[in-house]
Amino acid sequence: MSFTDEDREAVAVIARRHGFSPRAAETMLSALVGGHARQAQFDHPEFGGMGQWSGGGMLMIGDMFNSALKSRVGDLIRDLTDLAQALAQRPPASVPDASDPAWPPDLGVPSASGSQNGVDYAVFPAARRLAIRRNGQVSLYDTGDHRIGGVSQQQGGTSSLLFTSQHGPVPLDSLVPIAALPGPGDTPGDPARSDAAHPTDAAILATIEQLHALLSRGILTQAEFDAKKADLLNRL
């Protein structure tokens, strides 16, 4: 599910009302949409880590003894519920059918797709892949356990693409590249692209450095960083 500019403006207003950042509120909204506004599983530092909510009145947050935070999270969920219900019923935007050749057919049908600033993207949860197309070339990324929903992008290219999942904001640069597929005019055996199917050791180490920067900024938890680092080191 992609968020429109109007969606993000509404979320930002609600976030400020309850003292949360817009990114945290978008994470909660994605979780609510995924649970059809009846339940949600979320994970974000501003919510005390992992937590869950159900429409029957159950709310659990990681910082279980922080009653003030729990109350704020509950109020945030209450104010996001109507928007989540509307988004859950909204038809997916720009989703091609299975025969659409725009994306590699073996990935299946994307759960969400769109285009921002000349960069196309599509999310394939069944294959755990995120596809990015720029200048006619498609690059694939491993989404791991992320259930990617909304996307936002600042001016400046693909490096500024920022997705949201149940774990919070997901910068494109934090995902491990899987492959760069030939674009128009490229030959399948082009040696200049032959290394793209497998990330190099240098690329993996650079990704770990990027993840550490996200950890330092509080975007990733220590547990999330350790898990992803271990996974990346196993690929060396």
pTM as predicted: 0.45
The residues facing 124 across adjacent strands are: 129
Average pLDDT over every residue of 199-203: 61
Q: For residue 189, name the pLDDT band (cuts at 50, 70, 90).
A: very low
Q: Are 93 and 2 in contact, with CB atoms under 8 Å apart?
A: yes
**Residue ranges in 137-233 assigned as alpha helix (H):** 201-216, 222-233
**What is the reported pLDDT for 99?**
42
**What is the reported pLDDT for 92?**
54
More confident residue, 234 or 51: 51
Distances (CA, A) of 62 to 25, 53, 69: 17, 12, 10
* Helices and strands, counts by H and E, the chain: 5, 11
Residue 131: name the closest of 147, 152, 110 by CA. 110
**What is the reported pLDDT for 53?**
93
In angstroms, the CA 111 to CA 102 distance is 14
Residue 207: name the closest of 172, 173, 170, 159 by CA. 173
Other Cβ atoms within 10 Å of 115 Cβ, number: 13
**What is the reported pLDDT for 11?**
92
Average pLDDT over every residue of 146-170: 64
Average pLDDT over every residue of 94-114: 65
17-21, 84-88, 100-104: least confidently modelled range: 100-104
